[in-house]
A and B are shown apart, each in its own frame.
Chain A
């Protein structure tokens, strides 16, 4: 018989102590979702998922051991506790103090759940897909296929507890809709995507999203390479977060402490243009990365890592903050299957020069507007070397032509100084990456 969430957490912590752990923390997660996929006017797939799991970290003489189980029976939980303690003898010690304070009565409301999300019925979900497909096919005769079309509603719950008495929980729910269309002209296929998540279905606009996907696909027809050389580049807000994301590992204290970051020893120094700021924002209302406490139970707070171009700090968990001799910062990330790491809650980028994309396009005689990146594996996250295939538009003297089969190169830490402006908006919906369009004065383009 399965134990409920609270009982399972209490049982695993007490069992861990009984078999030799001095301290321990445990995370319980459960999630439920329903998703529908439509192809050519008919439902192809309907999926319902229901997951539970509990993950344990023990410390035995400072040595961590990790285990998890998706079986929540008494026997499975006991085995999990014994495994974690047994595994701790392999690892090297770490120095951490688990937090004492419980969260829950803080009165903060992050709006992570809207009960109406659960009221979105399977029939309504199918209808949204059918409308979107019809809209997409009617929007342009060159739409040749709609291979990806689906919608999901999901909800989840997380509870964290430790042997010092910390107890915290978080619940969330969301709906999402995505469409991918293929436009064909002269035997050439181009794909256009749109996908957005919200807290409830009222905000979803399937027809508008279908039109957006169509216009993205159609506008790329006839794309070709342009001549190589140096060129100003604007990364659209659709991809700017993904682009920055390749290199953000350099802001992890763990990477810095292990010498795997070029930002080592640079706190207090200028690393980008004045006016540029980059921060972690855990308290944004309703966003995916929003949280009151982190993966180790430390209270979160908004914090700038780069302020006016100056490096102010790194992302820490308990282990790395102790090593650096600073107070815990509340950036720990964790899932029930994994070990503790660190990350942005919600990443936010701002610049003192925020302008609309239209103004950006007009401000340069020639600029490459990047809307799609194709694999980042030739980029080096540690050295900052950029070598990345992109698609987008060349905007030159008011004319726009689609561009593909080109690649951009440079170095991330160099181009931070070439940031000339930011766009004035973030991409819509709920997510955890608030990065506006980024304009760099110059990158190298190869074709």
Chain B
């Protein structure tokens, strides 16, 4: 797609009455290699290609996409969307045009080479993971390891004259281990990833990765069922940040605010957490899994402080969200692919490091649960209700770490839990993940230091 052809399509959209029109052109190469049960089970390569057309009439968003790039298909798409548009029109001032200025060099992510899907380094990595995990214990019953690689080239054109392009590369390795002993089974997994090409594997300590995952699975075999009830919980660093992401991050997106589906509506400037809590969403960390050079509307990415010393500062916004909700733009418009209209999404979201030591937090907790590593979970953004599982947990009594426990879940409501974060440690770590919402699955990091939440409802076995 060249700028001239894009201009002809955008012109037609404007002629049909759109206040704003935008084309998003994407070609993505995928590759994956999967080892399971000591065998290379699949090797896949693929090309995703398509064009997304967005037309904005007032606050109404019309979006269409196609994999057919002939000009007639795109003209037809404009006509189909304009023809289907319901009558009636609201007014929305979209504000200043996007200037498309690139991010300063030092904040950009760097891929050395986008990655050859045939590169054999991946074979060695998955085989090594399998061997290392199995070497941990004879109780390791199953190992699966994958390397996923994605290289995207995108171009964005809009009716304000924007002509921006970006090259994005991601590589991730996942190792999942199942340990078994006398009918009892436990799993452990690790899944690091970066905005890098396959050279990411060169620096990766696969041996350690697989050993950590296998150790956890084996260790949890001796775990006892977790008790239930309200108690203080020390949530571990890194992936522990998934709770903040789900229960507080999503309600801080303008996409929730637009639907009045957030408990934080109208609370900018108010204290919503203890002064020990500062939370940030940062798209500018070089090479981090959730980083961007520009967002999916062509705006430069940013570092956005959401909560500063307990006080709500702003929401994460895309252009429409910012205009409708009256908050500043944060360069957070994201989409999985050309199949989705962009909306405000998180990038690398984390709780900033605080000053408490692990000892202080353990002592302060006295009796409770140490959730070293969180598993997955779910949240209902409209009501704030969340539910997360604990992959690795220990009971703490009298400030001392005791037996491992399994099957624990943490439940509550995001806005109610936030003020109960009483202490924040200094051991900030990030963990990559895939976040799903209305504009599809996007790579993000969650992150936090160890934090003490007191109390939180633990669901376990009666």
Contact = CB atoms under 8 A, between A and B. Distances in A.
Interface string A36-67: 10010011111111111101000000001111
B178 interface: yes
Given A189-B383, A191-B382, A46 B459 contact: no
Given A44-B59, A67-B46, A191 B378 contact: no
Contacts of A259: 141-142
Interface residues of A, number: 78
Interface stretch (B63-71, B104-112, B271-279): B63-71
B42 interface: yes
B61 A50 contact: no
B160 interface: no
Given A48-B64, A92-B40, A374-B411, A70 B49 contact: yes
B37 interface: yes
Contact of A260 (B61, B118, B178, B460): B178
B387 interface: yes
B41 A189 contact: no
Interface string B83-119: 0111010100000000000000000000000000110
B90 A377 contact: no
Interface string A217-246: 000000000001110000000000000000
B47 A50 contact: no
B411 A46 contact: no
B43 A48 contact: no
Contact of A69 (B47, B90, B460): B47
Contacts of A444: 461-462
Given A66-B44, A182-B261, A49 B228 contact: no
Contacts of A189: 263, 382-384
Contacts of A90: 33, 40, 43, 123
Given A87-B43, A228-B228, A377-B388, 8 more contacts: A43-B86, A44-B61, A80-B45, A83-B117, A180-B382, A260-B142, A380-B185, A406-B459
Interface of B: 27, 33, 36-37, 39-50, 59-68, 70, 77, 80-81, 84-86, 88, 90, 117-118, 123, 141-142, 178, 183-187, 225, 228-229, 258-261, 263, 339, 341, 375-378, 380, 382-385, 387-390, 406-409, 411, 457, 459-462
A180 B259 CA distance: 12
B462 A445 contact: yes
Given A46-B84, A374-B411, A2 B44 contact: no
Contacts of B45: 66-67, 80, 83-84, 87
Given A377-B389, A382-B185, A446-B462, A45 B63 contact: yes
A64 B42 CA distance: 7
A258 interface: yes
Nearest to B226: A387
Nearest to B32: A66
10 contacts: A55-B46, A67-B44, A86-B118, A87-B44, A147-B382, A191-B382, A258-B36, A385-B407, A407-B459, A447-B228
A126 interface: yes
A269 B409 CA distance: 34
A360 B388 CA distance: 31
A378 B409 contact: yes
A264 B208 CA distance: 32
B39 to A, nearest CB: 4
A79 to B, nearest CB: 8
A375 interface: yes
A69 B48 CA distance: 6
A122 interface: yes
Contacts of A86: 118
A339 interface: yes
B67 A52 contact: yes
Contact of A446 (B47, B60, B459): B459
Given A48-B80, A409-B461, A446-B228, A80 B64 contact: no
Contacts, number: 228
Contacts of B457: 405
A74 B358 CA distance: 61
A377 B386 CA distance: 12
Nearest to B76: A50
A71 B67 contact: yes
A333 interface: no
Given A66-B44, A126-B86, A389 B375 contact: no
A65 B37 CA distance: 18
A70 B50 contact: yes
A258 B39 CA distance: 11
Contact of B388 (A190, A375, A404, A447): A375
A445 B461 CA distance: 7
A82 to B, nearest CB: 10
Interface in A126-150: 126, 145, 147-148
A375 B259 contact: no
Contacts of B258: 39, 44
B68 A2 contact: yes
A280 interface: no
Interface string A375-401: 101101011010111000000000000
Shortest Cβ-Cβ A-B pairs, 4 listed: A407-B459, A378-B389, A446-B228, A375-B378
A46 B228 contact: no
A148 B376 CA distance: 24
Contacts of A445: 462
Interface in A403-447: 404-407, 409, 444-447
